[in-house]
Structure 1
Amino acid sequence: MDRAARPRTPRFGANYTPTRGWFHHWLDFDLDEVRADLDSVAALGLDHVRVFPLWPLFQPNRTLVRPRAVEQLVALADAAAERGLDVNVDGLQGHLSSFDFLPAWTTTWHRRGLFTDPDVVAAQEEYLRTLAAALADRPNFLGMTVGNEVNQFSDAPHPDPDRITAAQAQHWLERMLAACEKGAPGRFHLHAEYDAVWYRDGHPFTPAQAARLGAATAVHSWVFNGTAQRHGRAGAATEQHAAYLIELSKAWAEDPDRPVWLQEVGAPAPLVPPEHAAEFTEAALAAALDCPGLWGVTWWCSHDVSRDLADFPELEYGLGLLTNDRRAKPAGAAVARIAGAWRGREHRPAVRSTALALGPGAPRSACAPGGAFFEAWAVLAGQGVRPAVVRAEHVADPARLSSRGITEVLRVEDVR
């Protein structure tokens, strides 16, 4: 874990979206195509990729994790190592780019709770353990992420959620992380949710779970969540949305030095028009890199989705750093410049000495775009204040404030 958890310099990577067949490439796995894709990622000067096995293809039956699929995952990781790229593996896919990928043994005639059914949970544990164990001896294997935004299956707006309590979510996460650790002890294992964990009242996956379980806190920053609609492509709230989530997450962390991984961030059109994608990229990453404790940035995504594939939301087709024929786009060139500028540099941004206090009993919706807390933070950010976030119950705890370098605390009502 030391290699991943306490880097001297921030990490820069991409969520790997294969150019041929998208994530369906596992059905027709072609290692030469994978190598060509990874060559183009490495050419940007990035140091890691996050990869996505499709759960139904890797575990099509509850008691079968396909050995050949696992071999292909290891081959991908080895190809990445040859190009100087570390690998993080997301296990439970789960949900990707508006599509759900669930094995047949969890749906329709076999419908059972993803988070609570004893047989399903035991099978998930074995699947995650198997993937982790297969990669445990690879030096470039960072660790597992339990799954990609699996929390979307637990609550609205999913059309058919498996509803659970916060306690059940906690228990499930602990079991999944333990399975990853059993397969590959000491690696950088974590879990990752979409922003309902921070913004949606009553959501069963909680900020405390996100900021305390696993080796790091993962945040996924998408400004199509109402931020860019309210503030425009160049508003402080939009350009600093990723920084906001990084700082918001620290309010729930028990360890002031806990690393935060900006695991997804992108420039979604038309809210960020393609001609302004590089400008947004530069601003968003500059703001994120101004946050102490940032482990690294993983852009969504490596390559554009092919127009030969149907039914994706329009914005999904153009999110890549590279085109579908592996040419760098302006956003890709921007990330390459930033990664190059940070190579070999220590990440020691100034402390954020002014914090905005999240009031006692404040609902999570207050932290969402349009909420009183979010909008107050955005005002301060627009004024150049660099606000941290602290919960009201910790304002009277000098040791906690001191551990983060906080010397001034503002309330929402103080912000004009």
Structure 2
Amino acid sequence: MPSAVRFGVNYTPSEGWFHHWLDFDLDSVRADLDSIAALGLDHVRVFPLWPYFQPNRSLIRPRAVEQLGALVDAAGERGLDVNVDGLQGHLSSFDFLPAWTRTWHRRNLFTDPDVIEGQADLLRTLAAALAGRPNFLGMTLGNEVNQFSAGPHPDPDRATAEEIDTWLTRMLAACEEGAPGKLHLHAEYDATWYQDDQPFTPAQAARHGAVTAVHSWVFNGTAQRHGRVSAPTEHHAAYLIELSKAWAADPHRPVWLQEVGAPAPLIPAEHAAAFTEATVEHALDCPDLFGITWWCSHDVSRDLADFPELEYGLGLLTNDRKPKDAAYVLARAARDQAAAPSAPATRTTALAVPADPSVRSRCAPGGDVFEAFFRLTADGARPTTVLDSHAADAHHLAARGITEVVTSDQVLPTPQGGTRS
């Protein structure tokens, strides 16, 4: 029997947002978790803010670690497993980096030996503190840490792909040292798949860690180009899941849709439930899906200033813990999946994608690979992807069940008056 796809949420505390670690109130956390568990979800992803947990390179605050343990225990009491982000440096447009890495102590997050050791110490400490708890799933290194490594960040910590590879290996090893055998992974925003000069590469995303994580946000040009009701917008999460498989060494490597949400105004509040339903339906049609973790649990309070407008309304629940229509959609999908786990058929048609990461923008919205994938999708082909370097590899194709490989030139119409370049 197939395993049920996991359903959960990224936990955004209803009181104080992630600043709740400064005034930690376990009763408030318990009430939040009650409202999540009532939806029938099975896990949460939580975010200990790095400067609050490690304000000095040699100080990991014991009280903060105890509070994280209390949160994990409270989740377990409600039947919720927990994934923990470790180096929690970026959330909802705000950077959270400790003072010992910035300004007068400016050091590269990915290459400085002292910073690397400090990061490894924090990851190992958090993992070890939680290792004995049965509902602790494992560590994610941090939330979209690749945004620190290149533009459009205003002050990036530049690194080469080789240096990032070394950093990922070291950080994941620290997690394993702290909690052997748990599900440890890393997670980046979609520049990894779409941005030519990103040092975090698709191959790293698909080969480091226990599962591949994808974060799907349609404000990346998808909804702007194609509208809120379109194959690209409603299948964007499924596209990233299938795109990741081109670089995976394991033909059945699990993929975790670790972040996906309905951002206004591109997805208006009155359409959020329909968008949620379509996104989940199409993601569940992807083989080897590990889980779907919605962004996010609770709305950001209007008492908090300076968030981008869309951040205030992304919750499945209101700031006073009332479910929205999208919450009921996700709850129903979780219930149906638990009762009858999905077993989607193999995707036998593969679209060739460039193995060269310096041209990965071809896979981004507006690129020929992106547009060809959704032309196939609109035609009902259920495509996956394969690296162009594997397109003629019979053994690789057979291992993945692929029987047909097509290129974007074959799928897209030739522009009038000339040939495609």
Partner of 2:419: none
Whole-angstrom distance in 2 between the partners of 1:359 and 1:178 = 30
> Partner of 1:219: helix, strand, or coil?
strand
Structure 1 position 12 matched with structure 2 position 7: yes
Whole-angstrom distance in 2 between the partners of 1:120 and 1:18 = 29
> Partner of 2:58: helix, strand, or coil?
coil
Partner of 1:141: 136
> Partner of 2:172: helix, strand, or coil?
helix
- Residues 299 and 316 in structure 2, CA contact (< 8 A), matched pair in contact too: yes
Partner of 1:94: 89
> Partner of 1:49: helix, strand, or coil?
strand
CA deviations 1:168-212 (Å, max 9, x no partner) are 000000000000000000000000000110000021000000000
From 221, 242, 248, the counterpart of 1:247: 242
Indicate the RMSD between aligned Cα atoms, in angstroms.
1.1
Structure 1 position 190 matched with structure 2 position 185: yes
Question: Could you list the runs of 5+ residues in structure 1 that have no partner in the other structure?
Answer: 1-5
Partner of 2:405: 409
> Partner of 2:138: helix, strand, or coil?
strand
From 180, 202, 220, the counterpart of 2:197: 202
Partner of 1:127: 122
| 4+ aligned runs moved over 4 Å, structure 1 | 359-362
> Partner of 2:48: helix, strand, or coil?
coil
Structure 1 position 82 matched with structure 2 position 50: no
Letter of the aligned partner of 1:267 in structure 2? Answer: A
Structure 1 position 299 matched with structure 2 position 294: yes
- Structure 1 vs Structure 2: percent identity of aligned residues? 73
Superposition pairs for residues 195-234 of structure 1, below 5 Å?
Answer: 195-234=190-229
> Partner of 1:363: helix, strand, or coil?
helix
Moved more, 401-410 or 148-157: 401-410
Alignment: residue pair count? 411
- Residues 8 and 345 in structure 1, CA contact (< 8 A), matched pair in contact too: no
CA deviations 1:189-239 (Å, max 9, x no partner) are 000000110000021000000000000000000000000000100110000
Q: C-alpha displacement at 1:347, in angstroms?
A: 3.0
CA deviations 1:267-321 (Å, max 9, x no partner) are 0000001111000000001110000000000000000000000000000000011
Letter of the aligned partner of 2:211 in structure 1? Answer: A
Structure 1 position 382 matched with structure 2 position 378: yes
Whole-angstrom distance in 2 between the partners of 1:303 and 1:341 = 23
From 272, 275, 284, the counterpart of 1:280: 275
TM-score, scaled relative to structure 2: 0.96
> Partner of 1:203: helix, strand, or coil?
coil
Structure 1 position 39 matched with structure 2 position 39: no
Q: C-alpha displacement at 1:409, in angstroms?
A: 1.0
Question: Could you list the runs of 5+ residues in structure 2 that have no partner in the other structure?
Answer: 413-421
Whole-angstrom distance in 1 between the partners of 2:25 and 2:378 = 48
Structure 1 position 112 matched with structure 2 position 107: yes
Partner of 1:3: none
Whole-angstrom distance in 2 between the partners of 1:297 and 1:219 = 10
Whole-angstrom distance in 2 between the partners of 1:73 and 1:159 = 31
Letter of the aligned partner of 1:385 in structure 2? Answer: A
- Residues 350 and 404 in structure 2, CA contact (< 8 A), matched pair in contact too: yes
> Partner of 2:395: helix, strand, or coil?
helix
TM-score, scaled relative to structure 1: 0.98
Q: C-alpha displacement at 1:257, in angstroms?
A: 1.2
Structure 1 position 396 matched with structure 2 position 392: yes
Letter of the aligned partner of 1:161 in structure 2? Answer: P
Whole-angstrom distance in 2 between the partners of 1:21 and 1:410 = 50
Q: C-alpha displacement at 1:7, in angstroms?
A: 7.4
Q: C-alpha displacement at 1:8, in angstroms?
A: 1.0
> Partner of 2:86: helix, strand, or coil?
strand
Whole-angstrom distance in 2 between the partners of 1:45 and 1:406 = 36
Structure 1 position 166 matched with structure 2 position 151: no
Q: Rate the CA distance shift 1:360–1:263 in 2: closer, same or farther, 3 A.
A: closer
From 334, 342, 347, the counterpart of 1:347: 342
CA deviations 1:119-138 (Å, max 9, x no partner) are 11000000000000000000
Whole-angstrom distance in 1 between the partners of 2:19 and 2:100 = 20
Q: Rate the CA distance shift 1:360–1:11 in 2: closer, same or farther, 3 A.
A: closer
> Partner of 1:287: helix, strand, or coil?
helix
